[in-house]
Each structure stands twice: as C-alpha cells, then as structure tokens.
Amino acid sequence: MPRLHFKGRALVENHHLTVPFHELRAVPEPGLSTTPSLHDNLVVHGDNLAALKALQPTLYRQVRCIYIDPPYNTGNENWVYNDNVNSPMMREWLGKTVDRDDLTRHDKWCCMMLPRLKLLRELLRDDGAIFVSIDDNEVHHLRALMDEVFGEDNFVATVIWQKIFSPKNTARHFSQDHDFILVYARDAERWTPNKLRRSEAAKSRYKNPDADPRGPWASSDLTARNYYSKGTYEVTSPSGKTFKPSIGNYFRVSPENFAELEKDGRIWWGAKGRSMPRLKRFLSEVQEGVVPQTLWPWRDVGHTQAAKKELVALADFERSEDVFDTVKPTTLIRRILEIATDEDSIVLDSFAGSGTTAHAVLAQNKQDGSRRRFVLIECEDYADSLTAERVRRAARGVPSSGDEGLREGLGGAFSYFELGGPMREESLLDAGNLPTYEALAGYIFFTATGEELRPAEMDRSRSLIGSTHSTDVFLVYEPDVERLKLLALDLAFAKALPPANGRKRVVFAPTKYLDECFLNRYEVEFCQLPFEIYRVVADS
C-alpha cells in the first residue's frame, strides 16, 4: 500500500508509544456528578494526545463510536502544532500559528494527526467505528493516514454532509456546500451499522390508491439491467396491452414468479391498468429500518446555521463574532449515534469544541431511554466555560428558554478532569509531582498486565492493587516524599504475603531490603520505582 510521506514523519511514527502517561485529576466544581469518576460521562481539559494516553487504562478497547472534528487546516483557524517531539526541526515548529503562509502546514497537520489516530484506534472495540469530519483542505491526506492506521480494508464510506442550505454566490469558483465524514471500522468484518428509522417523509411516500386491504404500498421497478436469462418474456396487462423490458433490461423475476405475484395482487399496472408493470411493496412488510446512505442532506441532519443557533441558545456570547465558529448540529451527531451505537455504548470526541457530541448523546439518551456515555477532550481554556458549560445547561435545562425541550433539560451528569503532570521516570518521585496512590496504581496495573485496575479489588492494607489469573501486583507507595524515603519491600512485607501457590507476586516499591536469595525464597519479583513504572509483567 502506498504511504503518505511528509516532513517530520519519521519523528512522529512511534510518538504515540513514547507519550508518557499523565495523571487525570478530578475537579469536582465544573462537573455535575457528586462523586467524580473516570467511569462517568467525562469532560477532560487537556491536549488530546496526552489525554488519550491517560485514558487508556480505563478505555482501552472500550469505545464503540469515535466522532472527531479536528482543525480542517484551512489556514484561518490559528491552530498550533505543539507536540513535544524531541527534534530541532520540530522545536522550530512549536508555538507558531499554522496559517496559510506556512509552507509546511500540511506536514504539521499530518504530524499532529498520525499519533492521535493511532491512540484512538487503541481505544476502539472490535465492533467499533470512527467518523472524522473534514473538508477538501486535508481530506486526501486524512484518507491516506486512516488507510495506514485503520487498514484500507476497514474503510467504510465517505459521507457527504450538505452543510449549507443556500449556495454562496460570492464564491470565487464553486460554492462549497458540503463537508466530508470519513468512516472506518476497527474491523469492517465485525462492524455492522444500525439501520436508520424510516423518516415520516419516507413513510408518506407509501399510498393506497387501490384500497388494498394490506395497507399503504409503494411500487418499484420490476426490470433491471443485470442480465437474467429468464427475464426476457412478454406480459399482458388487464387492459390487453403487452409489455417487454426495454432493450438491455430484464425482468427481475421469472415468468412463473411473475404469475404468482400477479395472482397475489402484487403487480401494479398503473391507475388505468395499462402501464408497464411494477411491484407493490407494502409498508407493513418492508424492514423497519433503512440502510444508511452516503449523502446526508441538511434537511435530514441539519446545517451549520442551525448548529450555531443551537449553540447560542446554550452559551453566553456577547457578540456575533465571538460565537464558536466550527460547531456542528446535534442532529448530525445523532445520525452518527443512530448508525454506530447501541443503548450503553461509549462515545468519544477528542476534539470537543463546544461539546456538541455530549449534547447529542444526552438528547439521544433522553429520546430512547438509553445509557450511552460520552468522553470529551478539549485543550483550550474554554473546556469549562464553553464545552462543559454547554453540557451543564443542556443537562439541567435553561429555564428562560422558549424551547420546551431546552427548558426542561435533558438530564444526565458528568465528571470533569484536568490533565495532570506526566509520570516520567525521572521526575515521578519529585516532591510536588507525586501522583495519588490510586492514579499510580491504575497506570502500573494497566501497563504491567494490560488490564484495567478494579478499585474494588484493591487491598491497601496489604498493598495489593490487583490480580490477573496468574499474577498478584503490589504497590508500596505513598504520595509523600518523606514517607517515600522510608518505604521499601522488606522482610516483614515478604513474610506477610500469603503462600504463592504457583502464582507470581510482583511488588513495585521505591527500594528493597532483601537480596535475591530472599526474593526467591518468598517468590517475589521486585520492580523499582520510578524506573520500572512501565514494566510489563509477562503472564505465565
């Protein structure tokens, strides 16, 4: 498969692996949940590269649907490439706004996206899918990056979203009426889109001009261009007129089958009984849902102006120019939720902006009484004042609103987290940078075993943080520099361990006061903090 080449590629290829884990610190005030938890609906404030890594212990292979709406790289967005990649060329790039004059803007964009797409894939379930909004500025690069990360066999569709309802006559060449949404499955063999509910408009196309007792029906063509050896016969209408498929077309059913359909009153010869026969398809018999199509007109999923209107009703913008510009309509995201989620799916949006995805999830949950969860990440300072604020208002309701749904509120709550410092080996045990016991335990257990920490199974009195089918993992640690100087894997600790009975016992501690001989006798494997926080414990 051809691969996209861009400046900086070699430096970011494995960047997703080297991004250190960061602590996620719960901040109760902006959230709506009484007990903040990483298993709640989430709004995370921080860069999504670090945040996606930090969410791995709880979200690894858990997410059913990812929707992202990254900067389109139009040259007018003022986004900044700020990833901490250690090279002189990248340092040169840092902190500078990526604008139209920047000759490397496409390279920077690809450098920004590649590691993020790789981390996003890690979070998707086998039956999950990712939807990415984009326009002509980067769609060709994005398609190549997605083919590389998700595999070209897992490409599902390029959706065309008709985003405006009246063409821009001031456009220099063409009025740009649509955005793209690229859809990839984690595994196209295992991903099946939900059928969409038949809209009222579609249902209204079923009529009953002949008062058929089976109810309303619509007719479909009985001929097709595909060659069918039995499909070239002639039929006679009740009025005596004969019909044959036109040249190059064939009846789709055999003559015997046609006769049966006719007998069952399923052939429509037109109101006067002298038109080319068509097949009657009864509304009561067609499958309830319809397969998703790739053209999404604004009439079905909303347009950009409607999106702004929705946002303005839920935020405090003083001037029109301040209104968040790239907001999407909730109806668009709800279409994605309808296609790609079920009642308790986790939905992730790591370029959250004004929080449309959370708003859409709450609205969809209210409509069908379900329990989808959202996880939003936003790096800008408005993560609280705009992103979380919209979710707070959508959930609680806006009493002054003229819209009844909005007045009442959609219900639901969420926890708010700030991205903490990196858990780097060299600085992990520095005063002022000590992660909580639970945070460190979560990362250690995940990196060591590949499994999520189950807090209910932690036993602090024995320093046990969790067990797999073959291994018990212990953490001797306290987030206090003075106490840490005294903590060690010592004889008393080893002696207090229950008999190993063939299980592996791995102890993470700042130091040990036991030599190899004792470690072997007590069947303990020692991992020194901070240097071995990313130690992988091979399962036996």
Ligand X SMILES: C[S@@+](CC[C@H](N)C(=O)[O-])C[C@H]1O[C@@H](n2cnc3c(N)ncnc32)[C@H](O)[C@@H]1O
- 47 sits near ligand X (criterion: CB under 6 A): yes
- 326 sits near ligand X (criterion: CB under 6 A): yes
Which one, 111 or 529, has the nearer CB to ligand X?
A: 111
Among 354, 447, 463, 467, binds ligand X (CB under 6 A): 354
- 389 sits near ligand X (criterion: CB under 6 A): no
List C-alpha distances in Å: 218 to 167, 203, 277, 283, 285: 33, 9, 13, 8, 11
- 180 sits near ligand X (criterion: CB under 6 A): no
Whole-number Å distance between alpha carbons of 316 and 318: 6
Whole-number Å distance between alpha carbons of 43 and 334: 19
- 373 sits near ligand X (criterion: CB under 6 A): no
Question: Which 72-91 positions form the footprint of ligand X (CB under 6 A)?
Answer: 79
- 24 sits near ligand X (criterion: CB under 6 A): no
- 111 sits near ligand X (criterion: CB under 6 A): no
Query: In the structure encoding, which two tokens stand for residue 85, read together?
Result: 């990649």
The answer to whether the peptide bond before residue 530 is cis (omega within 30 degrees of 0) is yes
Among 69, 138, 338, 452, binds ligand X (CB under 6 A): 69
What minimum distance in Å lies between the beta carbon of 116 and ligand X? 7
What minimum distance in Å lies between the beta carbon of 341 and ligand X? 17
Which one, 348 or 488, has the nearer CB to ligand X?
A: 348
Which one, 46 or 245, has the nearer CB to ligand X?
A: 46
Question: Which 332-351 positions form the footprint of ligand X (CB under 6 A)?
Answer: 351
List C-alpha distances in Å: 459 to 465, 467, 483: 6, 11, 19
- 121 sits near ligand X (criterion: CB under 6 A): no
Which one, 223 or 415, has the nearer CB to ligand X?
A: 415
| DSSP structure string for 9-74 | HHHHTTHHHHSPPEEEEE-TTTS--SS--TTS-EEEES-HHHHHHHTHHHHTTTEEEEEE------
- 30 sits near ligand X (criterion: CB under 6 A): no
Among 85, 340, 360, 379, binds ligand X (CB under 6 A): 379
Q: Any idea what the Cα angle at residue 263 is, between residues 258 and 268, rounded to 5°?
A: 70
Whole-number Å distance between alpha carbons of 445 and 453: 6
Tokens 């296609």, located at residue: 339
Per rule CB under 6 A, count of chain residues that contact ligand X: 17
What minimum distance in Å lies between the beta carbon of 95 and ligand X? 14
Other beta carbons within 10 angstroms of residue 53's beta carbon come to 22
In contact, 47 and 436? CB cutoff 8 Å: no
In 385-487, where do the E strands start and end? 415-422, 464-467, 471-475
- 142 sits near ligand X (criterion: CB under 6 A): no
- 163 sits near ligand X (criterion: CB under 6 A): no
| DSSP structure string for 482-526 | HHHTT--B-HHHHHHSPP-TT-EEEEEES-B---HHHHHHTTEEE
- 380 sits near ligand X (criterion: CB under 6 A): yes
- 378 sits near ligand X (criterion: CB under 6 A): yes
- 328 sits near ligand X (criterion: CB under 6 A): yes
What minimum distance in Å lies between the beta carbon of 54 and ligand X? 12
Query: In the structure encoding, which two tokens stand for residue 83, read together?
Result: 């990833």
Among 356, 364, 365, 463, binds ligand X (CB under 6 A): 356
- 353 sits near ligand X (criterion: CB under 6 A): yes
With residue 143 as reference, give the H or E element that holds it: helix 139-150
Amino acid occupying residue 449: T
- 377 sits near ligand X (criterion: CB under 6 A): yes
Q: Which residue of the chain is nearest ligand X when measured via CB?
A: 353
Site of interaction with ligand X (CB under 6 A): 47-48, 69, 71, 79, 324, 326-328, 351, 353-354, 356, 377-380
